[in-house]
Amino acid sequence: MGVMRILVCVKRVPAPGARIIITEDEQNIDSGHLGFTMSPHEECAIEAATQLSEQHGGEVTILTAGSSASEEQLRYAASVGASSLVLIENSSGNDWDPQRTARALSTAVRALENESGNYDLLLFGNEAADTGGYQTGIRTAHLLGRPIVNAINGIEAEEGGFVARRETLSGVEVYRVTGPAAFGVKEGINLPRYPTMKGRLASKKLSVRVIEDHSEPGEQYRLRLFRPAEVAKETVILGTDSNAAGAVVDLLEEMGLV
C-alpha cells in the first residue's frame, strides 16, 4: 500500500459526567456552563488513524459538522497527529438529524476527494457520546457506496485493503475489506495519546478549512428532550470490620443470593 490517506469524522459533545440542563423549549441543552470534548470512540479512531499513518506513511484529515466552536475539537485532533482540518459549519446551533449529517459529510468527502483523490479509509466513532444513535457512520458510508464494519476492536492495513476485528459474545469476528473502506471504531481499540507541547503549538498554526453546507434536512424530527428526575439513593454502611459479616450474610439472604 502506498501513501495512506485517512479521514476521521468527529463530533463536539458535552464532557462526560456534566450536569445536563434542558432548555425551556425542550429542543436543546443549555450549554452555558458545560465543558465540551469529543466522544471517547472518536478519540480512539484518531489514535488508530495516527498509528496507521505512522506505520505506513500518510496523512490524517479530521472532519466535523458543527458550529465554529467545534474548532476546539479539530485543533485537539491536530495536536495528536492530524495534518488537515475541515469544518462543515452548522450555524443553526442545533444538532442535525443523522440523515442530514450523513448527507453533509458525504458531500464534503466527495468534494475533498475530487480535489486530492480518494481516502483509503474513513473512520467514525461507534456512536456519538451524546445521542448514541449508531447511524451517522453507516449512513455516510452507504451514501458513498463503501463497505463499513461497525464496533471494531482492531484494525490492520494490508495490500489492497484492511483487516478488522470485532469482539462478540461468541468470540472474535474477522473482516477482510477491500479499500476504500469505512469502519466504526469502538472505545478500547487503543489508548489515545496525550498531546505534547510541540503538538499543541503546531495545532494552533494549522488552518481550518470551512465548507458551506447545502444538505437537505432529513425525515427524522426531535420531539423533545427529557431529563428524568433524579432519584436519591440511601447508602447504608453495614460495618467496618469483621463484625459486619453477619449483616452482609443477612443482606445476601434478603436478596436471594444465598
Average pLDDT over residues 175-196: 94
Full-model pTM: 0.84
Which backbone phi and psi does 143 adopt, to 5 degrees?
-65, -30
Q: pLDDT, tens digit, for every residue of 45-74?
A: 999 999 999 999 999 999 999 889 999 999
Alpha carbon of 156 to those of 52, 86, 141, 166: distances in Å? 8, 25, 19, 12
Alpha helices of the chain — where are they, by DSSP H?
40-56, 71-79, 98-116, 136-144, 197-205, 245-254
Q: Is 203 within a domain?
A: yes
Q: Classify the C-alpha dihedral 35-41-42-46 as positive or negative.
A: positive
Q: pLDDT, tens digit, for every residue of 7-26?
A: 999 999 988 777 778 888 87
Alpha carbon of 166 to those of 48, 55, 149: distances in Å? 15, 22, 9
Q: Is 76 within a domain?
A: yes
Q: Residue 143: what pLDDT? A: 97
Q: Is 99 within a domain?
A: yes
Q: Residue 161: what pLDDT? A: 93
Strand, helix or coil for residue 55:
helix
CB–CB of 66/49 below 8 Å?
Answer: no
CATH number reported for the structural domain that contains residue 133 in this entry: 3.40.50.620
Q: pLDDT, tens digit, for every residue of 119-156?
A: 999 999 999 888 888 899 999 999 999 999 999 999 99
Q: Is 239 within a domain?
A: no
CB–CB of 157/4 below 8 Å?
Answer: yes
The boundaries of the domain holding residue 42 are 4-212
Q: Residue 15: what pLDDT? A: 85
Q: Is 238 within a domain?
A: no
Q: Is 246 within a domain?
A: no
Our count of domains for the chain comes to 1
Alpha carbon of 121 to those of 104, 160, 241: distances in Å? 18, 11, 57
Please give the Cα distance from 183 to 157 (Å, whole number). Answer: 12
Mean pLDDT of the residues in the chain: 89
Length, in residues, of the chain? 258
Q: Is 138 within a domain?
A: yes
Q: Is 235 within a domain?
A: no
